[in-house]
Structure 1
Amino acid sequence: MFNRKPIEERIADRVAKRPPLKEGKHFEHKPALIVFLVVIGLVLVKFVGMFVLMQMGVH
C-alpha cells in the first residue's frame, strides 16, 4: 500500500541494522531494564505487605 514494504520487512530491516548485543548485557535498552525492575519491585512490595499483615494477625 502506497509503495511501502510490508511491516514484517520493515521490522526485519530495522533489526538487521542494530549492532550485536554486548557481552554480559542482559537488556538491549534502558526501558526494558526499568520495566523489569518495576515489576520485581511490585512483587517484593506485595510479599512484604502480605507478611506484615500475617504478623499483625489480619486475615
Structure 2
Amino acid sequence: MFNRKPIEERIAERVARRPPLKEGKHFEHRPALIVFLVVIGLVVVKFVGAFVLMRLGVH
C-alpha cells in the first residue's frame, strides 16, 4: 500500500542499523531511564505516604 514496506520490515531494518548495546548498559536511550525512574519514584512516594497516614491514624 502506497509503495511502503510493511511495518515489520521497517522495524527490522531500523533495529539492524542500531549499534549493539554496551556491556552493563540496561537502557538503550535516556527517555527510557527517565520514565523508569519516574515510575519507581511514584511508587516510593505512594508507599511513604500510605505509611505516614497509617502512623498518624488517619483512615
In the superposition, the TM-score normalised over structure 1's length comes to 0.97
2:6 is matched with 6
Q: Does 1:40 align with 2:26?
A: no
1:58 is matched with 58
Moved over 6 A (4+): none
Secondary structure of the equivalent of 1:26? coil
How many residue pairs match? The answer is 59
* C-alpha distance after superposition, 1:10-54 (max 9, x if no partner): 000000000000001000000000000000000000000001001
1:39 is aligned with what amino acid? V
Structure 2 gaps of 5+ residues are none
2:51 is aligned with what amino acid? F
Question: In structure 2, what is the Cα distance between the partners aligned to 1:51 and 1:5?
Answer: 53
In the superposition, the TM-score normalised over structure 2's length comes to 0.97
